[in-house]
Amino acid sequence: MTVQYPIVLETEASGVVSAYVPGLPVYAAADSYTKAERAIRTVLTAYLDAHPGSRADAQVRVARVSDRPRTKVSIVGVATLVGAGRRATKARTSPESGRRGARPRTTRKSRHAKSTGR
């Protein structure tokens, strides 16, 4: 069975990159993001080997902040981070077709026009 754990990476004021797993006592720090990822992977592996069956009791959400015309904060799913929203083409053609996320409308020739070559 595969379990996915969220990992948070933060750059401290000193330039050190801290990494932790929400819901578990798993922390690491390093000079760069790559080294911090490697360190947190090692620490998480050691923790899960020492505590089989352990699971993080955490959910990850994203705060989307809009500052026009005034600040508005919405809580959205993690899919927002990876761009699981509409594609640019769909977003651009939505107003044209009148449907949200719709495919672009194509002009189709009628059967009569196709058969007569018009």
3-state SS string for 37-100:
HHHHHHHHHHHHHHCCCCCCCCCCCEEEEECCCCCEEEEECHHHCCCCCCCHHHHHHHHHHCCC
The domains of the chain are located at 8-50, 62-104
Q: Which strands sit side by side in the sheet containing 17-21, from one edge to the other?
A: 8-11, 17-21, 26-30
pLDDT score of 53 more than 80: yes
Average pLDDT for residues 35-52, to the nearest whole number? 95
pTM, full prediction: 0.59
* Confidence band for 69, pLDDT divided at 50, 70 and 90: confident
Task: Give me the pLDDT at residue 37, please.
Answer: 96
Share of the chain above pLDDT 70, in %: 68
Task: Give me the pLDDT at residue 21, please.
Answer: 92
Cα 54 from Cα 90, distance rounded (Å): 42
